[in-house]
Amino acid sequence: MGLVDFFKKIEPDKKKSPVLHTFYDAVYTFALAPDSTTGPKGTQIKDGMDLKRLMVHVVIAMQLCYLFGTYNIGHQHFTAAGQYLGFIEGFHLKLAHGLILMLPIFIVTHIVGLGIEIIFAAKKGHAVEEGFLVSGALIPLIMPPDIPLWILAVAVAFAVILGKEAFGGTGMNIWNVALLARVFIFFAYPTTISGDTVWVSGFDGLAAETTASYGWAHDMFNTIFGWLGLDGFNAANTMVVDGYTGATPLALAYQGGWEGATAVYSPSQMFWGTIPGSIGETSKPLILIGALFLIITKIASWRIMLSMLIGGVVGAMVLNGWGATPFMEVPWYYQFWMGSFFFAMAFMATDPVTAASTNTGKWWYGFLIGFIGMIIRVINPAYPEGWMLAILFMNTFAPLIDHYVLQSNISKRLKRA
């Protein structure tokens, strides 16, 4: 009870400070589980699993992606410089560089997103809605490490205001909020989220002999590393090696097929994720661990995941049969080694608000995302990852899918009657 008493003592006045009270309420309900019931004769709340804690499970499932993605930022930086090429070599430098890039992205995302939600909640006179717990965790993972923070802030504001609050808040949005932030940047500021140079951080371009751009945060870590007798960041000796491009496997495969991709990255590198790409989307095993956690805890639908995998396989096999370009000839099973298919499958397509709700509808919804996304990825060179557009497209049609499923069930029951 000590924690409860502490929160009660610091509770601000709701009428005098509505925004501050809304922020307080968000922290209070996040820290403490529900302690109320519906009355002595009604249906009782049987455990502490409210919407916030449901969302927290999704955030927990992403933590391995956060850890790996943060470290991989540093690994790709030093790989471009031809230094510490072993994955665990220069561990402290890679982790420090990753933290310097990741923390501002994470902080800006949450300050902007939660700030907007708190203001809207205070204006409406209700508690903060929980949906941004997941969206705020997803957005940093689907961004390139060198994303300009002001562009990120504008994208988050756009996604939360026009993609969520305009529809009524959590549970009312028709499109995935995190994907809206990414698609806004993709179309409004395409050079910051596409091409070869955006996936490797710490350099002003990737031309040969471009020196590293280090700042005050790197100097701070240098002081700490000096005390410990470890190597530090040295911009003068850290420069892009000749011949390095920073191209992702997808970009290489589009130009030269599977042979073009494997000429630079081994299948093992693509699978484990030690490649350039969006921060949290590269390591397939860690994403699949998160997906398994969501399935076991019954937070995400296994039907959507499985049907999306089937749709992707069918789409890739159809393209293999066509074989008009080198990218179409990439063996269907290797399509899943490249890009963010598994991340989209585990954390994006399964969003319960924007996905289909009926069991039959989930099968169609997931299958069409996998099939359409694979077609977009391979055929349209402007969209090397088709999952973003495929998921948003199917978000739009999810209610229609559920409508036809329900109508079909009604028709069958009427015939039996």
Query: How far is residue 405 from each of residues 43, 361, 416, measured CA to CA in Å?
Result: 30, 6, 17
Q: Which of 15-24, 45-54, 89-98, 172-181 reaches the highest mean pLDDT? A: 89-98
pLDDT at position 48 is 54
pLDDT at position 40 is 59
> Is the pLDDT score of 363 beyond 90?
yes
pLDDT at position 259 is 95
pLDDT at position 55 is 81
- If you average pLDDT over residues 91-95, what whole number do you get? 97
pLDDT at position 131 is 65
> Is the pLDDT score of 384 beyond 90?
no
pLDDT at position 27 is 64
> Is the pLDDT score of 402 beyond 90?
yes
User: What six digits make up the tokens of 32?
Assistant: 């403490």
pTM given for the model = 0.89
Strand, coil or helix: 203: strand
pLDDT at position 378 is 93
Q: What is the pLDDT of residues 280-334, one digit of tens each?
A: 999 999 999 999 999 999 999 999 999 999 999 999 999 999 999 999 999 999 9
Q: What is the pLDDT of residues 99-140, one digit of tens each?
A: 999 999 999 999 999 888 888 877 777 666 666 788 999 999
Lowest-confidence pick of 123-127, 171-175, 204-208, 357-361: 123-127
How many Cα neighbours within 13 Å face the side chain of 220? 7
> Is the pLDDT score of 43 beyond 60?
no
- Average pLDDT over all residues of the chain: 89
pLDDT at position 25 is 64
pLDDT at position 170 is 74
> Is the pLDDT score of 381 beyond 90?
no
> Is the pLDDT score of 272 beyond 90?
yes
pLDDT at position 132 is 77
Residue boundaries of the structural domains of the chain: 50-244, 247-408
Return the closest-CA partner of residue 139 out of 129, 125, 149.
149
Confidence of residue 203 (pLDDT cuts 50, 70, 90): very high
Using only C-alpha atoms, what is the Rg of the chain?
A: 23
- If you average pLDDT over residues 252-268, what whole number do you get? 94
Collect all residues with Cβ–Cβ distance below 8 Å to 397 and sequence separation of at least 6: none
Helix spans in 125-176 (H): 132-141, 149-163
